[in-house]
Amino acid sequence: MYYLGANGPQGPEYELAARLAADLGVSLYIYSVLTVSDVLAEVAAGRAHIAAAGLTQGQPLPDDVGFGPHYQQVREHLVFRQGSPRPRTISEASAGHIEVAANSAHAATLRQIRLQDPNLTSLVWVENPGTETEELFNRLTDREIDFTIADSNEFAVSRAYHPEIRAAFDLSRSKSLAWAVNTQDASLLNRLTAFFASLSADGQLTAILDRYYGNIRRFEYVEARDFIQHIEVRLPSYKQWFKEAADGVGIDWRLLTAIGYQESQWVPDATSPTGVRGLMMLTADTARSLGIEDRLDPRASIFGGAQYFVMMRKQIPARIREPDRTWFALAAYNVGFGHLEDARILTQMHGKNADSWDDVRNYLPLLTQEKWHSRVKHGYARGWEPTRFVENIRSYYDMLQWMVTDVRDANAAEQTSD
């Protein structure tokens, strides 16, 4: 998995590739192509040294291309949409529309299942060229298809941004993920084998994978009961710092508090799979740029989060009025200003208002689809994440405005009644 996050390249594949390049003493150059078949073709032709694309051993490979050592075990899920009948067998699922990426390991699994069972002659599926797993999840959510197949690691990550998807059952036993290399270059394959052996032996490989997958939790909708409890139990410890930080940058302290709850549920030592940490979940680079030495210091994190939010808001074009300006700033806080601008461009392409959050929020998810993110500057982004991020914060903010009265608001109310 590799993608551009708010603060540059992210993902386990990127981190592993960066470490390999450092180990080899060479510069890392990463580029993307449309499909898995294209990735493998680049290696076969010698234009790329390594195909690092979450490839499952069992994936059909061209001549002169082979797998290196495995680095992760995954299972293949048959995925369906919540609210639809859950199939218990592949035979039951065959009555619906199954769609997978063309020439993928998932398509190979379906072919193998049909070959092994003579009673599954009715099992058919669509192999969609040029698609990606997240786009298939989007089609599933939009009821354009009934089922798809996803590796368990992809499902675990994407479930946070597609809460409607469910795993019906596993199609196969655990399979291994591995990089692919040109087998004509024995020296590179040997170095790759030694690299992964070293990472595995000292625990670094496990640590990298745990960072991205180990702490993934199910996405939760706004849980009013838990939120109210946390207002009573957790917020008092940090309330004054939220007020001071918000006053310092000129924003409503309850908005800053809502951001903090969305980021960590006001847990000062929270850590995400991607390595962001603290109550406001700042990246190491962001904390460093803000002069924060300890991201787990809740006061420093809160003040840093306030500064970072205002930095994002200042980049929003001056013509955009409130409250859209704030919603755009929140989206940029989450996904990065560059990706937000890309979504605004896509909004314009579709004839909608790029200065309206209600319009732009509908086009942010297109950044997961190659046919759209290839047309903008900053490329792929998890477009569902900032959309849900903003909507959750708006819900928390509304509740805080209703439940937690600002002293200044109370004074104004008293003066009005006088």
Please give the mean pLDDT across all residues of the chain.
87
More confident: 215 or 375: 375
What's the pLDDT at 122? 83
Spatial contact of 145 and 78, defined as CB atoms under 8 Å apart = no
Q: What is the pLDDT of residue 408?
A: 47
pLDDT of 153 reads: 83
Q: Are 157 and 1 in contact (CB under 8 A)?
A: yes
Work out the pLDDT band at 407, boundaries 50, 70, 90. Answer: very low
Task: Report the DSSP pairing between strands 175-182 and 165-170.
Answer: unpaired
pLDDT digits (tens, 9 = 90+) for 48-85: 999 988 888 877 889 999 999 999 888 999 999 999 99
Over residues 274-296, mean pLDDT: 91
Q: What is the mean pLDDT of residues 111-135?
A: 86
Query: pLDDT-derived band of residue 164, with 50, 70 and 90 as boundaries?
Result: confident
Give the bridge partners for 285, in sequence order: none
Confidence of residue 220 (pLDDT cuts 50, 70, 90): very low
- The model carries a pTM of 0.57
Q: pLDDT digit string (tens) for 363-380?
A: 999 998 888 999 999 999
Residues classed as catalytic? 263
Cβ(335)–Cβ(381) below 8 Å: yes
Instruction: List phi, psi (to 5°) of 232.
Output: -75, -35
pLDDT at residue 221 is higher than 50: no
Residue 406 pLDDT level (bands cut at 50, 70, 90): low
pLDDT above 80: residue 218: no
Q: What is the pLDDT of residue 135?
A: 86
Residue 215's pLDDT is what?
A: 43
Rounded mean pLDDT, 371-400: 89
> Each residue of 332-353: pLDDT tens digit?
999 999 999 999 999 999 999 9
pLDDT-derived band at 249 (thresholds 50, 70, 90) equals very high
Residue 225 token pair: 């009961």
Report whether pLDDT(255) > 80. yes
Is the model's pLDDT at 162 over the cut of 60?
yes
What's the whole-number mean pLDDT along residues 1-16?
72
Q: Can you list the domains of the chain with their CATH numbers?
A: 3-70+176-214 (3.40.190.10), 76-174 (3.40.190.10), 224-417 (1.10.530.10)
> Burial of 102 by CB count in 10 Å (0-12 exposed, 13-18 middle, 19+ buried)?
middle
Q: Which of 59, 3, 70, 69 is nearest to 30 (CA)?
A: 3
Work out the pLDDT band at 274, boundaries 50, 70, 90.
confident
